[in-house]
Chains A and B, each alone.
Chain A
Amino acid sequence: DGGITQSPKYLFRKEGQNVTLSCEQNLNHDAMYWYRQDPGQGLRLIYYSQIVNDFQKGDIAEGYSVSREKKESFPLTVTSAQKNPTAFYLCASKGMNQRYTGELFFGEGSRLTVL
């Protein structure tokens, strides 16, 4: 089945450690996004990529890094520089050409807890 797969679903990290969250999609979508969600809040954009080997900072990019070496994959690294990394992280994708309607599709999320 086509979809977006995020892993791991749950992750615990000690302060000072980097951690990488995986996001893979087989929808043939060009654009991919990383969002952060805190309790009782809407989603905030961390990074997005509209094409392979290119990505743009979102509203809260500090302390995060990404890569887009393949169309299907958009991993997010939460670095030790991120002051408050405990959150729910959501990856999304969207088709960009005329075949698509502009809808955003989401993975199941990764819940990161820093101990």
Chain B
Amino acid sequence: GIQVEQSPPDLILQEGANSTLRCNFSDSVNNLQWFHQNPWGQLINLFYIPSGTKQNGRLSATTVATERYSLLYISSSQTTDSGVYFCAVGNNRKLIWGLGTSLAVNP
């Protein structure tokens, strides 16, 4: 089955810093999504991005499907960005989830 690898596993930032999170996957996919899980467990969909580039405020994502990776950029980080960022890939029936990148933003 498809393998999903996220890096780095843990990240500590000072408020205002920028960061890049990476998601590598082992096979062609037609569905790729980035999620943020807050410290209370709520999962929020950030991007549906099987290919191309999207931006939403301080966040942007790029997926290069031919090279099987996706990047999530966080600019001018805030303490509310803390939590775990998951990448999930697959087809329209099933998604395979990475183990996440745990981000802590310090004031």
Contact = CB atoms under 8 A, between A and B. Distances in A.
Contacts of A41: 99
A4 B86 CA distance: 20
Contacts of B88: 42-43, 104
Contacts of B35: 104, 106
Secondary structure call for the B interface = strand
Given A43-B86, A101-B48, A106 B94 contact: no
Given A40-B99, A42-B97, A43-B86, A102 B92 contact: yes
Contacts of A109: 41-43
Contacts of B31: 102
Interface residues of B, number: 21
Contacts of B48: 101-103
Most interface-central of A41, A42, A103 (chain B CB within 10 A): A42
B37 to A, nearest CB: 9
Interface residues of A, number: 23
Nearest to B99: A42
A48 B48 CA distance: 20
Interface in A89-115: 90, 92, 96, 101-106, 108-109, 111
Complex A-B, nearest 9 residue pairs according to Cβ-Cβ distance, in ascending order: A42-B97, A106-B43, A103-B48, A43-B97, A109-B41, A103-B45, A42-B99, A101-B48, A108-B42
Interface of B: 4, 31, 33, 35, 40-45, 48, 86, 88, 92-95, 97-100
Given A40-B99, A90-B41, A102-B31, 11 more contacts: A42-B86, A42-B88, A43-B86, A44-B97, A48-B93, A50-B93, A102-B33, A103-B33, A104-B33, A106-B35, A108-B41
